């Protein structure tokens, strides 16, 4: 936030510092419950609380045993492998379908665009438990319940709306005359898409893909409905650990997932700034 000019009135100064205080309180309210799990994950005891040794910053109160348990426990490793097997495939499907849908809906001649858009983004609006129950009854009828393919398709359906929204937002500033110029020079639609349109909308495509990946990687409700023990993911294992055994290993896994989320958010911010530069805007 920029500094106040010298001619600012008393009321403007009061609002300036009040606004900064409000933003700081909101930031603390949102972030602190997430960050508090990080030091707890280094607890030397099997508790979900800060021990006197930890509060006294005694090295004996801290340990990496919960992280060691995560990387050596077969149950956690199976869940990790399933998450990294399901999420990337679901992300690829969601990105391909969402990008094509966004490009199609960006055409002014497409009828009922608003209605189609509402239907396509409905999975992110409808309560997840309802979507999961509907998918369960539908997939069980066609034999996809309890299979990797069923979970992948379900996660792709949940991630597609995020891709549609981010790509649609990128297409708002797209210059349509570029595609017409490419067509006038003899380029077919496929060549025009990959050579002209895709390089300009790639920040939105990648941003949507990251959101789709996070959606699949963190999702637990649909997996509980559609998956079997062979498809248990990290969130499923964390849910099971909280319900059946209170293991601090969950805190170590949560800390790693927070770290991954921070990396992905950093990439998203970089892509946002790059997209603004491509459109001739000044990154904020």
With a CB cutoff of 8 Å and minimum separation 6, the contacts of 247 are 46, 66, 69, 241
Q: Please, what's the b/e burial string for 48-77 (b: 16 or more CB within 10 A of its CB; e: otherwise)?
A: eeebeebeeeeeebbeebbbebbeeeeebe
pLDDT tens digits, 246-264: 778 888 888 888 888 888 8
User: Mean pLDDT across the stretch 107-113?
Assistant: 81
Give the tens place of pLDDT for each residue, 51-97: 888 888 888 888 888 899 899 989 899 999 999 999 999 999 999 99
Work out the mean pLDDT of the chain and round it to a whole number.
84
- Work out the pLDDT band at 239, boundaries 50, 70, 90: confident
Q: At what angle do helices 198-218 and 74-105 cross, to 10 degrees?
A: 140
Is the pLDDT at 108 greater than 80? The verdict is no
What CA–CA distance (Å, rounded) separates 163 from 123?
12
Cβ neighbours for 24, distance < 8 A, ≥ 6 positions apart: none
| Per-residue pLDDT at 91 | 95
Pick the residue with more confidence: 228 or 4? 228
Contact 38, 258 (CB under 8 A): yes
């Amino acid at each position: 936030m920029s500094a106040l000019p010298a001619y600012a009135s008393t009321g403007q100064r009061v609002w300036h510092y009040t606004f900064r205080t409000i933003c700081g309180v909101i930031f603390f309210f949102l972030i602190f419950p997430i960050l508090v799990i990080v030091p707890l994950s280094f607890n030397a005891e099997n508790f979900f609380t800060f021990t006197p040794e930890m509060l006294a910053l005694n090295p004996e109160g801290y340990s990496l045993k919960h992280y060691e348990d995560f990387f050596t426990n077969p149950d956690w490793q199976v869940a990790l492998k399933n998450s990294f097997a399901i999420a990337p495939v679901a992300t690829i499907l969601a990105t391909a379908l969402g990008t094509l849908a966004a490009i199609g809906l960006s055409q002014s001649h497409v009828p009922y665009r608003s209605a189609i858009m509402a239907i396509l983004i409905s999975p992110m609006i409808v309560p997840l438990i309802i979507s999961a129950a509907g998918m369960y009854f539908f997939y069980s009828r066609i034999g996809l319940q309890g299979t990797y393919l069923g979970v992948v398709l379900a996660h792709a359906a949940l991630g597609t709306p995020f891709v549609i929204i981010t790509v649609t937002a990128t297409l708002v500033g797209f210059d349509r005359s570029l595609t017409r110029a490419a067509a006038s020079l003899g380029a077919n639609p496929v060549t025009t898409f990959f050579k002209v349109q895709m390089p300009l909308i790639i920040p939105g495509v990648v941003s949507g893909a990251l959101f789709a990946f996070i959606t699949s990687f963190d999702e637990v409700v649909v997996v509980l409905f559609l998956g079997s023990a062979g498809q248990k993911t990290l969130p499923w294992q964390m849910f099971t650990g909280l319900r059946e055994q209170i293991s601090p290993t969950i805190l170590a896994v949560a800390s790693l997932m927070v770290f991954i989320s921070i990396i992905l958010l950093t990439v998203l911010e970089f892509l946002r700034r790059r997209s603004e530069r491509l459109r001739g805007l000044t990154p904020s």
